[in-house]
Amino acid sequence: MAAFTSINDPSVYFNTVLYTGTGSSQSITGVGFAPDLVWAKQRNGTNAHMVADTVRGADNKINPNQNYANDTNAVSLTAFGADGFTGGGNTEMNGSSLTYAAWNWIAGTTSGITGGGITPNGYSINTTTGIGIFEYTGSSSTSNIAHGLGVVPQMIIIKSLTTTNDWTCYHEAMGNDKFLTLNTSGQETTDATTWDSTSPTSTLWYMGDSGDVNNSARDYMAYVFANVKGYSRFGEYIGNADVDGPTIYTGFRPAWVMIKGYDASALSWYLWDSKRLGYNPDNNVLYPNGANAESTTDQIHLLSNGFKFITTDSEINGSGTKYIYAAFAEAPFVNSSGVPVNAR
């Protein structure tokens, strides 16, 4: 009988670190690995979200809650390290006495991908954890890119580096003719020119000629994710407008959960992790499409095998509303030896 998961310790591949800024160069450690993707947000104030990755290199940032182009910034994330990263004095990630959360992923493989209509300018992938980080130049015509993951991706997030286009999100639950924007609260948009009405395969993802994802005069970043049993899951749920809200099974105790209502307007993205504050029901929320400080409103329980909502808030649990989610594990529900994880 096959093991439930091959990843007994998800923190080797994804980890959250909390820290206080200094206003000058600071080494942030405790990640547990050399990260290839870092997403940081101030907790106690309204500085923007910030994303950096090893494909673009240190000193380059983009902001999930804004449509700005890539910013080469020598005082933002200034170096990637063996156990974390170095922050400069930029207030988006290291302002004096400001508190932060940073979410970190490892990829690592930077060669070996072949095929596809567009060849990435650079990439880093991990077939064990189903993550791919790609930088590419668009073609302005229907095309595709080889992702190298060996399985079908469930979520793709793309941002133009050279223009002020929105962050464009594919999610399997919505289908191949719709997208969401990470930096807005807007509902799904139907558009065949974004994903060419073609779902990703185990080798390729597809794009039409939409300027948000595939213009020949623009460079883009793409973050590609696939389900990995016991480690990551990308799915959907339907709200019930009850304090005894829906329970979503993931197959692991979550370390990180992001959700968005997609079939109704003006619903924000929500993001929780298991470190802030770290026990039920006190799981503080941040908003990927907004610069808001974190909220302490109790809305979610992180369970041994998934998560459950405990609110009637329509942005999270509206009656009949459909929501997508992305989640990464703190611990698998059952490890490779058949031992179940404890609840929080």
Task: Give the pair of three-digit tokens for residue 184.
Answer: 């807005």
CA contacts within 13 A on the Cβ side of 129: 26
Cis, bond preceding 77 (omega within 30 deg of 0): no
Q: What is the pLDDT of residue 2?
A: 53
- pLDDT of 3: 60
Secondary structure of residue 290 in the 3-state scheme: coil
- 221-274 per-position pLDDT tens digit: 999 999 999 999 999 999 999 999 999 999 999 999 999 999 999 999 999 999
Place of tokens 């080798």: 203
- CA proximity to 133, closest of 200, 208, 81, 57: 57
**Count of CB atoms within 10 A of residue 252's CB?**
29
Instruction: Copy the structure tokens of residue 320.
Output: 């009949």
Q: Which helix or strand (DSSP H or E) is residue 117 part of?
A: none
CB 137 within 8 A of CB 218: yes
For residue 25, the SS3 value is: coil
Q: pTM for this structure?
A: 0.97
- Collect the ranges in the chain with pLDDT lower than 50: 1
Residue located via tokens 């932060």: 100
Does residue 218 contact residue 211 with C-beta atoms inside 8 Å?
yes
DSSP string for 36-58: SEEEEEESSS-PPPEEEETTT-T
Runs of H (alpha helix) within 26-174: 91-94
> Distance (Å, rounded) from C-alpha 180 to C-alpha 289?
11
CA distances (Å), 250 to each of 16, 200, 227, in order? 19, 22, 10
CA distance 220 to 230: 30
Structure confidence at residue 1 (pLDDT): 40
Tens digits of per-residue pLDDT, 101-135? 999 999 999 999 999 999 999 999 999 999 999 99
